[in-house]
Amino acid sequence: MTLPCGHTRHRLIKNFTSLGPYLREGQCHDFYFFFDCLAMCVDVKAEPEKREFWGWWLDLDAQGQSMTYSYRYGLFDEAGNWSEIKFKDKAITEKVHTTRESFHKRLEVLVQQLDPPYSLTERP
3 state DSSP class of 24: coil
Look up the pTM and report it.
0.91
CA distances from 63 to 32, 34, 38, 57, 94 (A): 9, 15, 28, 20, 32
Q: What is the pLDDT of residue 121?
A: 96
Class of domain 9-118: alpha beta
Q: What is the CA radius of gyration of the chain?
A: 15
Count the neighbouring beta carbons within 10 Å of the beta carbon of residue 17. Answer: 12
Question: Is a pLDDT exceeding 70 seen at residue 4?
Answer: no
Q: Please give the single-letter amino acid code of residue 95.
A: K
For residue 42, is pLDDT > 80? yes
Question: pLDDT digit string (tens) for 15-38?
Answer: 999 999 999 999 999 999 999 999
**How confident is the model over 63-105, as pLDDT tens digits?**
988 999 999 999 999 999 999 999 999 999 999 999 999 999 9
When pLDDT is averaged across residues 44-51 and rounded to a whole number, the result is 94
Reported confidence tier of residue 124, pLDDT bands at 50, 70, 90: confident
For 70-105, give one letter per residue: b (16+ CB within 10 A) or e: ebebbebeeeeebeeeebeeeebeebbeebbeebbe
